[in-house]
Structure formats: C-alpha cells, structure tokens
Amino acid sequence: MQAVIFDLDGTIVFSHPTHFKAYEKLFGEFGITWTFEEFERVFAGTGAPKIIFDILTRSGVRDFDINALVAKKRDIFNQLMAGQRLAVVPGFFEFLGELKQRGIKKIIASGSTTSNIHAMLANIDVLEDFPQVVSTVDDVPIPKPAPDIFLAASAILGVEPRDCLVLEDTTHGVKAAKKAGMKCIAFTTTTDAEALRAAGADLVTADYRGIPLEYI
C-alpha cells in the first residue's frame, strides 16, 4: 500500500455530535427540526451543501443562498468547537506513527469545508501531519457516495487508486471508495458493522487497534 486516504469526521475525530448541533442551530432559524439518528443514518459523509439543500427543500424552503448557509454552518461549528478538545478514535496516533515510519503517503478526504478540516486537525495537534486535504465542499462538487473525492485525493498524491487504502465510517464513504477501485477499512464509530459490510468494506473494525499491519 502506497497511500492512506482518511475520512475525518467519525474516522479520526468524534465530531458528529458537534456538527449536528451546528446544523440544528442553523435549521432552527427556519423552524426546522430533525434528529441525530437521521443525520447519521441518511446524511453522514455527504457534506454540508447536500445536507442543507435536502433538508431545506424538503421542508418547503425555496429561497436561500446555499453558499452563505454553508459558511454560516461552518462558523457555528467553529464556535461550538472553540475551547474543547475533540475526542480521537482509539489507536489513531499510533497508526499515524506507523505510517510515518513506513513513509506511506497520506491525505484527508472529507465532506467538511477546508477551513473546518484544518480547524479539527489543529484541535488535535496533527495539522502539520496533513499538509494536503481535499474537500467535497471546496474542491470536489460531487459528494460521496460518488468516487470523485477519493480519485482526486489519489491524483494529488500521485498514487494509483489500486494502491490506496481508504479509512471510512459511513456507507456513503465505503461505497465511494469501492467505486474508486480502492481498498476500504470501515470503523463502527457511527455505523453498524452489517451496513458497512453490505456497502462493500474489505474490513470492518471498531477502531485503528483492529487493523492488521499487513493492510499497510
């Protein structure tokens, strides 16, 4: 394996509850309520533009500026995150150290905005470890489960898709990785194991501690 492509939310940090609170506050201004269960089951991994567009349009909202709302959600998220240390998926730092030791390339491929990605990486003190990131909000317009974000990540690294390993936690992400022709390890941090296997994950585990070294 020549490169590892990391999703971020639910794969490196446990940020879904904070993201949900940001969306909840944003949608509350339109009188819209939704549930955390729906967020994780239907929308996890799809990115802010799709989430905001789908929720508003199905609620009958027609006149809105999607770019302005994405920026507003980002700002709310950063305000909520300020002053708190995000929890990290167990084994992440050790796994990152193993990649460094082996000289394996790495990149973040996330549905979050680039600024949110950088803020979360800085929050857990690994921003310098990931000089390259790709976002479905800022870089790739088509979100997961389309393979575009992972293909863009492999192109940035200069590595063939077949030589990339994707780490994910959602069915959308797993499907995107497999469509891109990449191996995929999925964590049960936000999605149950059966759904991840059905989506095509090559290995399903609780966290980084369950990844056999031969996978990298």
Of 188, 193, 190, 183, the residue nearest 216 (C-alpha): 183
pLDDT of res. 45: 66
What is the mean pLDDT of the segment spanning 85-106? 95
Q: What is the mean pLDDT of the chain?
A: 92
- Write the pLDDT tens digit of every residue in 145-173: 999 999 999 999 999 999 999 999 999 99
pLDDT tier at 112, thresholds 50, 70, 90: confident
Q: Select the more confidently predicted residue: 79 or 104.
A: 104
143: pLDDT strictly greater than 80: yes
Q: Does residue 113 or residue 193 have the better pLDDT?
A: 193
What pLDDT shows up at residue 116? 85
Is residue 179 very low, low, confident or very high in pLDDT (cuts 50, 70, 90)? very high
Residues of the chain with pLDDT > 90, as a percent, come to 69
- Indicate yes or no: pTM above 0.75: yes
pLDDT digits (tens, 9 = 90+) for 14-62: 887 888 888 899 999 999 988 888 887 777 667 788 889 999 999 999 8
Closest CA to 8 of 104, 81, 101, 102: 81
Beta bridge partners of 4: 106, 165
- Residue 112 and residue 48: Cα distance in Å, rounded? 7
List the domains of the chain with CATH numbers. Answer: 3-15+87-215 (3.40.50.1000), 16-81 (1.10.150)
pLDDT of residue 125: 96
Q: Worst-scoring range by mean pLDDT, 33-42, 114-123, 134-143, 161-170? A: 33-42
Q: What is the DSSP string of 86-126?
A: PPB-TTHHHHHHHHHHHT-EEEEEESS-HHHHHHHHHHTT-
Q: The tokens of 215 are what?
A: 């996978």
pLDDT for residue 210 is more than 90: yes
- Report the C-alpha gap between 40 and 107 in whole angstroms: 23
